[in-house]
């Protein structure tokens, strides 16, 4: 997938996966937020960021939304490369081909300051 360079130089972290959920590209802000260099995550799934704080039902619901509506956005707990668990706002959008089949998933993420009120809004 050719992502315009200006779109990928965003103030939010971004990553793109193929239709199977394998990371094919990340931007510099992704590396700044997560601590992972591109070569450490390309070829892997976003599960590398899993904090362990969400149960299977959370992810089933999230992917049900992506598959039915074409997108999902919400708060999520993830884990940086250094092991720190952090809160982020995550948005996942399904990019479809001309036949309506998923070609890629595009995700944007933004770190939420770890203030108590922000952390309390995310389901454990």
- Lowest mean pLDDT of 54-63, 65-74, 80-89, 107-116, name the range: 107-116
Q: What is the mean pLDDT of the chain?
A: 88
Query: Residue 11's pLDDT is what?
Result: 74
98-114: burial string, b at 16+ Cβ within 10 Å, e else: eeeebebbbbbbebbee
d(Cα 4, Cα 32) in Å, to the nearest integer?
20
Which structural domains are found in the chain, ordered by start?
A: 12-103 (3.30.450.20)
d(Cα 50, Cα 76) in Å, to the nearest integer?
9
Q: Which residue has the higher pLDDT, 87 or 117?
A: 87
d(Cα 88, Cα 50) in Å, to the nearest integer?
12
| pTM for the predicted model, two decimal places | 0.83
Dihedral of alpha carbons 29, 32, 37, 43, sign: negative
CB-facing half-sphere around the CA of 117: CA atoms within 13 A = 0
Query: Residue 117's pLDDT is what?
Result: 47
């Amino acid at each position: 997938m050719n992502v315009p360079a200006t779109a990928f130089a965003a103030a939010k972290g971004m990553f793109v996966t193929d239709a199977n959920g394998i990371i094919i590209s990340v931007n510099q802000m992704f590396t700044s937020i997560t601590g992972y260099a591109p070569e450490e995550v390309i070829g892997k799934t976003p599960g590398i960021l899993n904090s362990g704080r969400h149960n299977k039902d959370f992810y089933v619901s999230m992917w049900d939304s992506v598959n039915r509506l074409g997108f999902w956005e919400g708060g999520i707990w993830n884990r940086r490369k250094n092991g720190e668990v952090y809160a982020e706002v995550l948005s996942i959008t399904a990019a479809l081909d001309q036949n309506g089949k998923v070609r890629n998933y595009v995700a944007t993420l933004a770190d939420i300051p770890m203030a108590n009120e922000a952390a309390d809004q995310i389901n454990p």
